[in-house]
Amino acid sequence: MGFGAGHILDMNQRIRQNRELRTSRKKRQQRINNFSSHRQSLKLKFKTLSKEELEKAKQEIRKQAKYEQIKQWLILSVFIIIGIIGITLFIIWMT
């Protein structure tokens, strides 16, 4: 009887294979350093808007937000009405 020796051997092989798959700390640290140096050298450029364009963009965003809010309220009210109708039909059906 092996008393689980095959399972222990399999476990040790898996641990060894996983250890080999991992990257070394040195390689991992190099990768982190390369990313941080690349990120520091990366300069972001933002588009600048004039005051009229900025106000126009704000109004457009507000208009879209108001449209979304109206749409959400409409959907909510439809579901509430459907729920009330469903509950009343269920109560009528049960009596």
The number of angstroms, rounded, from the C-alpha of 85 to the middle of its chain's C-alpha atoms is 36
Q: What is the pLDDT of residues 68-82, one digit of tens each?
A: 999 999 999 999 999
Residue tagged 């640290």 (tokens): 29
Instruction: Report the chain's mean pLDDT, rounded to a whole number.
Output: 85
Domain segments of the chain as ranges: 1-41, 50-95
- pTM value is 0.45
Residue 71: both structure tokens together:
């749409």
Q: Alpha carbon of 20 to those of 12, 17, 53, 60, 72: distances in Å? A: 12, 5, 57, 56, 53
What are the pLDDT digits (tens) for 16-57?
Answer: 888 877 767 777 777 777 776 666 666 778 888 899 999 999
If we measure between CA atoms, which residue out of 49, 45, 29 comes closest to residue 37?
29
> Do 49 and 57 meet the contact criterion of CB atoms below 8 Å apart?
yes
